Amino acid sequence: MSNSPRPVGFTAPHYAASQVGQNVLQHGGTAIEAMVAAAASISVVYPHMNSLGGDGFWLISEPGKAPVAIDASGTACAKADLAYYAQHSAIPSRGPKAALTMAGAVAGWQKALEVSHTWQSGIPLSELLAPAIGQAQWGIEVTQSLQDASEKTFDDLSTIPHFEQFLIKGKSLQKGKILKLPAIAKTLTTLAENGLNDFYNGEIAQALAEDLQAAGSPITLEDIKAYEAKMVTPLSVNTSVGKLYNLPAPTQGIASLLILALFDKVQHLATNEAEFVHLLVECTKQAFIKRNQYVADQSRLSIELQSLLSVESIDDMLTNISLEQALPWPHQAKPGDTIWMGACDSEGRMVSYIQSIYWEFGSGVVSPQTGIVWNNRGTSFSLQAGHQQQLAPGMKPFHTLNPAFAELKDGRRLSYGTMGGEGQPQTQAALFARYIYQQKSLPESIRLGRWLLGRTWGDESHNLKIERDLAEDIQHDLASKGHDIALVDSCNELMGHAGAVVMRADDTVSAATDPRSDGNAFAAHTFK
């Protein structure tokens, strides 16, 4: 062990999870180990945004090697077909029939730790999960974000059996109150003792199957046992500033890459902030058109998504972007909310990670034996026969989730991302463009006023929403170009919870988090 200090960094949208990740890093743990510990923690302290009953996606980078990715998203269970939902015009968004896809997050933790163990001998799982166990046992302080989600969903979810664990004395959560989650603590303790595979092939799997069946979900023990997370090859695109990476189908990673690939070609045309935002919005429209046309389960792709990132494809899309005129936008948006976290360890290994249950509190279905609330990601399926998103057993629904990573020509490596459904690619683009092209500081790139085209979590409108502090300077110019604008409050959670970790060529590390979240970011030194 060297006595020289080495930089580490971590960011998360909740301060407690960020602290957990940082502690692991400062005790010599890998970026993956830090992320698993923080992922367990944030499933406790931010239960409206994610859960052990949800999904995860990983981007993992070692210095000098191509990044690798893990798809830990759930497949539709064996009973989930058009006949099962014959009495419905659409898959219910809440309740037992919304709980139809497997939970992949924990399998993703296990797959990621397998990678970590090729780097160095691992920290015991019991140590990684101990902070989350303590948080669940002793209780978490309700944040404003958690209060808002609790109040918003109370009418829909409070009557679902066993959801009372996310209430206090039958009432919605209030900021500053302490919420204890003893069943979650017990589940995490079982995982710490028996290993993460217990979730799919042990006591927890059995309990989950019993509880989901009792609730009326189509998921069975056989579905749970059959699930596995998979290593996948990230999508990538070369730009003038470096190489960008994101996740392949079924995620909208292609959209995030297309926005920045297109913007890289036109950003020099922007002479003011209004033109800067306008061009990013127009690039977003082109990217979303391609996303909506092609992204589905891998087995249903009509083209290789990587081909959309070719020079020829990018140039073709550029012909539809005008500096003077906004393209009309009638397209339906994709909702969703989640958490994103980033890490950099003392060896320069970096992680970009995202974990979600889709809508706030997912399906609302809670397993009473485990305390786990199940995702409702399956509502992204269509019940229309022949649709590219048609529900079928073993298929994966469309995912808004997409963690981002960049290797820049000047030696910087950037892990970045956000929650926020339709807003994820847009916020990623805003953060990246401000940091790279406008050369603003990392915190400023995240803090500055943002915009959102289309719908995000909990919102049904499809116009261009702009935070008031930004709109003051650009609203008139954007309206003159034909944008349909709606103003929202500044520093609005609607715009997502962004974060980033940067490692520079000189081995210094910076990290930042979004003031729109309850997060924190750390960049410190450890001895290794």
**Tokens 């729109």 — which residue?**
516
99-145 residue pLDDT tens: 999 999 999 999 999 999 999 999 999 999 999 999 999 999 999 99
Torsion of CA 142, 144, 149, 152, to 10 degrees: 120
State residue 457's pLDDT score.
Answer: 46
Give the separation between CA 464 and CA 455, rounded to whole angstroms.
9
Those residues with Cβ within 8 angstroms of residue 271's Cβ, 6 or more apart along the chain or in another chain: none
The helix (H) or strand (E) run that includes residue 451 is strand 451-453
Other residues' Cβ atoms within 10 Å of the Cβ of residue 1: 6
332: pLDDT strictly greater than 70: no
Contact (CB, 8 A) for 35 and 343: yes
State residue 455's pLDDT score.
Answer: 59
Give the separation between CA 255 and CA 347, rounded to whole angstroms.
31
402: pLDDT strictly greater than 70: yes
Active site residue 75: no
> What are the residue ranges of helices labelled H in 76-202?
105-116, 125-138, 144-157, 182-194, 198-201
Share of the chain above pLDDT 70, in %: 95
Contact (CB, 8 A) for 65 and 368: no
State residue 329's pLDDT score.
Answer: 82
Establish whether the linkage from the previous residue to 250 is cis, with ω within 30° of 0. Answer: yes
Print the SS3 string covering 458-525: CCCCCCEEEEHHHHHHHHHHHHHCCCCEEEECCCCHHHCCCEEEEECCCCCEEEEECCCCECEEEEEE
Question: Domains in the chain, ordered, with CATH?
Answer: 235-336+400-527 (1.10.246.130)
The helix (H) or strand (E) run that includes residue 17 is helix 15-26
Which of 11, 284, 338, 427 is labelled catalytic? 338
241-281 residue pLDDT tens: 999 999 999 999 999 999 999 999 999 999 999 999 999 99
Give the separation between CA 24 and CA 128, rounded to whole angstroms.
8
Q: What type of residue is 373?
A: V
Which 3 state secondary structure label does DSSP give 212? helix
Point out which residues pair with 374 in neighbouring strands: 53
Point out which residues pair with 453 in neighbouring strands: 464
Look up the pTM and report it. 0.96
